[in-house]
Amino acid sequence: MRSILIVGAGQSGLQLALALQARGYDITLMSNRTPEEMRSGRVQSTQCLFPTALRHERELGLDFWADRAPRIEGLGVSVAGPADLPGGGHRRLLDWVGRFDGCAQSVDPRLKMAGWLDTFADRGGRLVIHGATVSDLDFLVRRYDLVLVAAGKGELAELFGRDAGRSPYTVPQRAFAVACVHGLGPRPEHPGFEAVRRNLVPGVGELLVVPTLTLSGRADVLFWAGVPGGPLDVFQDLRSPGEHLALTLELLERFTPWEYARATAVELTDAGATLAGRYVPTVRHPVGRLPSGGLVLGVADAVVADDPVAGQGANAAAKCAASYLESITERGALPFDEEWMTGAFARHWERARHATRWTNAMLAPAGAHVMELMGAAAGHPPVADRFVRGFDDPSDFEDYFYDPERTAAYVAGVVAESGAGATAAGSAEPPGGRAAGGA
């Protein structure tokens, strides 16, 4: 039985630990928190898993909350215009919604990771509660066939050198602020339709609204991602969760009044339901060399840390765990040497690179061709659906998103096809809830 040490108890570390455990590997998992500490602690991340990542969990039998978490059928996009409303508020220029091919779901990581950690221990896994250091790994690496580092922050992340050719940014591109709330009302123009809402305020940042399941039941995540130094970059010196929520709502009223209208009765889900921070999106080299010469392999955001603005983090982590699972099991009894480590990461990167490229593009100011695409989505559901399904499979953006000529050709083709259909069958309204306007 091959022995593997996994350091880190997030989406990738736990998913991989439970999958390998089920396949008969001798797994030791190191976590810096107990399940009880996770449940009672502060939010440290958020996630919304799209259909592919959910399928990986379902195939492993780890979708414990599938019947309780909201079924998210689509994603809506709103674009704010200038501050021309009374009091300096912003009006919506665009508002539409597209549908996933399948459903997405969000579960509070405090609930999910604690549950998975309990499951790993209940199934006989060796669980070590300890914040691992480089010196710890330098001692332990000799005792295992493979050591995987699935901790994306702190000292261990520094084992993996920055890949400058794949990391265009050297400073944070967004300052993020999260509040998990009860009491958010539905979007009146889309009743009964659960969707992630992505609100773009050009030059200022984004507001994501995500239906979720938290420790106390159904809730919503209000996630501001602000351009550093701008009007959303104001959460770092707050003294309490109450101040955090009050500021969140103040910014909603100013920049996204259509979202504020359904948030007037919200309250935090618990005392640990807020988070603020920033980090530099970075791709690192996958193999870390310890002082003694031992090698460790980086997993998920330990080596590919995308900005959260496009919601790819947990999805990329789930896909990384699935890819590494196959690379490990295919290796059989052969050594997990540096060549294998490099190859295992290259296999994962072949897909992960698309999420990284798209996320980095979303951090830049939207070009005219992107706004043309967003406008076309408001009137043509196939465009809206294709864009939204790219959150699940960002490789599709290669065909039409990045190049203005390809974007124009794609939009023209959809418009022409739509016109031909209208000529043949008469004009038709788009499916209900696809587009809306107003403030």
Q: Is residue 257 part of a domain?
A: yes
Domain C-terminal end among 329, 361, 393: 361
Packing angle of the helix pair 11-22, 313-331 (nearest 10 deg): 30
Q: What tens digit of pLDDT does each residue of 90-100 get? A: 889 999 999 99
Q: Is residue 218 part of a domain?
A: yes
Looking at the structure, do residues 97 and 220 belong to the same domain, yes or no?
yes
Domain C-terminal end among 297, 330, 361: 361
pTM reported for the whole predicted model: 0.93
Tally of domains within the chain: 2
Looking at the structure, do residues 190 and 257 belong to the same domain, yes or no?
yes
Domain C-terminal end among 343, 361, 379: 361
Strand partners, 297: 148, 287
Q: How far apart (Å, rounded) are the C-alpha atoms in residues 164 and 177? A: 28
Structure tokens at 274: 């807020």
Looking at the structure, do residues 214 and 263 belong to the same domain, yes or no?
yes
Q: Is residue 387 part of a domain?
A: no
Residue 141 burial (10 A CB sphere; 0-12, 13-18, 19+): middle
Which range of residues forms the domain containing residue 252? Answer: 72-106+172-277
Q: How far apart (Å, rounded) are the C-alpha atoms in residues 285 and 63? A: 31
Q: How far apart (Å, rounded) are the C-alpha atoms in residues 334 and 344? A: 14
Q: Which residues 6+ apart lie within 8 Å of 337 measured at CB?
A: 295
Q: What tens digit of pLDDT does each residue of 339-365 get? A: 999 999 999 999 999 999 999 999 999
- pLDDT-flagged residues of the chain (< 50): 422-439
- Please state the length of the chain: 439
Looking at the structure, do residues 190 and 266 belong to the same domain, yes or no?
yes
Structure tokens at 102: 């399948």
CATH number of domain containing 204:
3.30.9.40
pLDDT at 159: 95
Looking at the structure, do residues 18 and 85 belong to the same domain, yes or no?
no
Q: Is residue 375 part of a domain?
A: no
CATH number of domain containing 320:
3.50.50.60
Place of tokens 């591109």: 173
Q: How far apart (Å, rounded) are the C-alpha atoms in residues 324 and 312? A: 18
Q: Is residue 349 part of a domain?
A: yes
Q: Is residue 411 part of a domain?
A: no
Q: Is residue 48 part of a domain?
A: yes
Looking at the structure, do residues 245 and 136 belong to the same domain, yes or no?
no
Q: How far apart (Å, rounded) are the C-alpha atoms in residues 427 and 296? A: 60
**CA distance from start to end of the chain:** 62
Looking at the structure, do residues 124 and 185 belong to the same domain, yes or no?
no
Q: Is residue 80 part of a domain?
A: yes
pLDDT at 82: 85
pLDDT at 420: 59
Looking at the structure, do residues 267 and 298 belong to the same domain, yes or no?
no
Using alpha carbons, select from 162, 161, 159, 163 the residue that is nearest to residue 290: 159
Looking at the structure, do residues 325 and 178 belong to the same domain, yes or no?
no
pLDDT at 190: 79
pLDDT at 179: 98
